[in-house]
Amino acid sequence: MNGGQEKLRFESDYMEGAHPAILERLVQTNMAQTPGYGTDAFSESAREKIRQACDAPEAEIHFLVGGTQTNETVISAMLRPYQGVIAAATGHIATHEAGAIESGGHKVITLPQQEGKISPEAIRSCASAYWEDGNREHMVMPGMVYLSQPTEYGTLYSLREMEEISAICREFRMALYVDGARLAYALACAENDVTLPDLARLCDAFYIGGTKCGALLGEAVVFPRPQTVPHFFSIVKQRGALLAKGRIAGIQFDTLFTDNLYGQIGRNAVHMADRIRAALREKGYLQPMASPTNQIFVTLTGEQAARLAEKVALSFWENVDADHVIMRIATSWATRAEDVDRLIEWL
């Protein structure tokens, strides 16, 4: 299915199965008998390792299946009916979750973004505007801030930004929730200064992405402080987000958090992405977003795009004008150096 004649594929970071260490572990443990629903010893071990990695000994950790599911389950569990969630206009919950948050009853309050990020000032201004408005009881109360780290554009919030946003959230009694679908690619990045313990300290909830970071599937929701959402287990069950064989997620996260695999799994992706970025610069392509992680955005003429499309699958991002498009190139833990060589050659 991926022979030499086949197209190169750089269209996403979830094109393969799982990191070999994970698959091996699933094979090894396959016939072990465990109770269901994440009460097994594998899941408990994974939770303990994540608590340690986050320096959050009290954290409650739940394993869900996918990103959209995790976002809607956590957000609707944490908000009251009259509250909405602030997000970048380009945030995943605002664009590519088919209205999941609204389906759960809540407005996504979108703010203008720059390179996928929203500024502390914009957040403060949105919260202030609500609380200063005499008609606020007829309006949606901002009850949470949603950030993606890295963002949908591959960019990163700095520790300083994250700290400012966290402080604003506490001032206005909004929860801070971070979507870490691609968190491994942030953690592997030299520019990144936000660690797992930082997230645990600054957020009310966040999730550590598995699906796009080497697992078959699975996302680990972390509530750094216990009882943030009482009976969250039942909410997960009700939302259809509870795996009967909870161990399938547990074993994978246990593997990802053994010997710091999660901290390292993104390095290949970032290294390969850096090579592609450098090649693009050298060859004079415009890179409209300064992403330092595993996503690369490049502006192509229609002709360039068509020529490339014959040999390599990229992801269409948006039209710039009649003659130019922005395409996304994604690398992952599984990206092979020889494929990057060929891609660079063809650019």
5 or 33: CB nearest a second copy: 33
Which position among 160, 225, 237, 307 is part of the footprint of a second copy (CB under 8 A)? 237
Gap between the Cα atoms of 260 and 265, Å rounded: 9
Which position among 160, 170, 225, 245 is part of the footprint of a second copy (CB under 8 A)? 245
Encoding tokens for residue 244?
């009967």
159 or 217: CB nearest a second copy: 217
Run of H or E including 90: none
Build a one-symbol-per-residue string for 53-82: x at contacts with a second copy by CB under 8 A, - elsewhere: ------------xxxxxxxxx--xx--xxx
- With binding defined as CB under 8 A, does residue 100 bind a second copy? yes
Which position among 4, 5, 190, 240 is part of the footprint of a second copy (CB under 8 A)? 240
111 in Cβ contact with 145 (< 8 Å): no
Encoding tokens for residue 96?
């590519």
Which position among 52, 115, 124, 140 is part of the footprint of a second copy (CB under 8 A)? 140
268 in Cβ contact with 247 (< 8 Å): no
158 or 227: CB nearest a second copy: 227
* Subset of residues 25 to 54 that bind a second copy, contact rule: CB under 8 A: 26-27, 29-37, 41
- With binding defined as CB under 8 A, does residue 334 bind a second copy? yes
- With binding defined as CB under 8 A, does residue 314 bind a second copy? no
59 or 100: CB nearest a second copy: 100
Gap between the Cα atoms of 113 and 329, Å rounded: 21
- How many residues sit in the footprint of a second copy (CB under 8 A)? 82
- With binding defined as CB under 8 A, does residue 131 bind a second copy? no
Encoding tokens for residue 29?
């443990």
- With binding defined as CB under 8 A, does residue 284 bind a second copy? no
- With binding defined as CB under 8 A, does residue 322 bind a second copy? no
- With binding defined as CB under 8 A, does residue 182 bind a second copy? no
Minimum distance between the CB of residue 84 and a second copy, rounded to whole angstroms?
A: 6
* Subset of residues 205 to 224 that bind a second copy, contact rule: CB under 8 A: 211-212, 216-217
Gap between the Cα atoms of 94 and 274, Å rounded: 29
User: What is the amino acid identity at position 146?
Assistant: Y
Minimum distance between the CB of residue 335 and a second copy, rounded to whole angstroms?
A: 10
- What strands, in cross-sheet order, belong to the sheet with 175-180? 60-64, 219-223, 205-209, 175-180, 141-148, 83-88, 108-111
Q: How many residues does the chain have?
A: 347
141 or 175: CB nearest a second copy: 141
The values of phi and psi at residue 111, to 5°, are -115, 150
Minimum distance between the CB of residue 35 and a second copy, rounded to whole angstroms?
A: 7
Of the listed pieces 55-63, 99-107, 119-127, 160-168, which binds a second copy according to CB under 8 A?
A: 99-107
Give the number of other Cβ atoms within 10 Å of residue 289's Cβ: 18
Which position among 50, 108, 222, 300 is part of the footprint of a second copy (CB under 8 A)? 108
Alpha helices in the chain (DSSP H): 20-28, 41-54, 67-78, 92-95, 100-103, 120-132, 159-171, 183-187, 196-202, 232-238, 247-256, 261-264, 267-282, 302-309, 337-346
- With binding defined as CB under 8 A, does residue 137 bind a second copy? yes
157 or 207: CB nearest a second copy: 207
Of the listed pieces 48-56, 145-153, 239-247, 256-264, which binds a second copy according to CB under 8 A?
A: 239-247
**CB contact set of 101 (below 8 Å; sequence gap of 6+):** 71, 72, 75, 76, 85, 93, 107, 108
Gap between the Cα atoms of 345 and 292, Å rounded: 22
- With binding defined as CB under 8 A, does residue 2 bind a second copy? yes
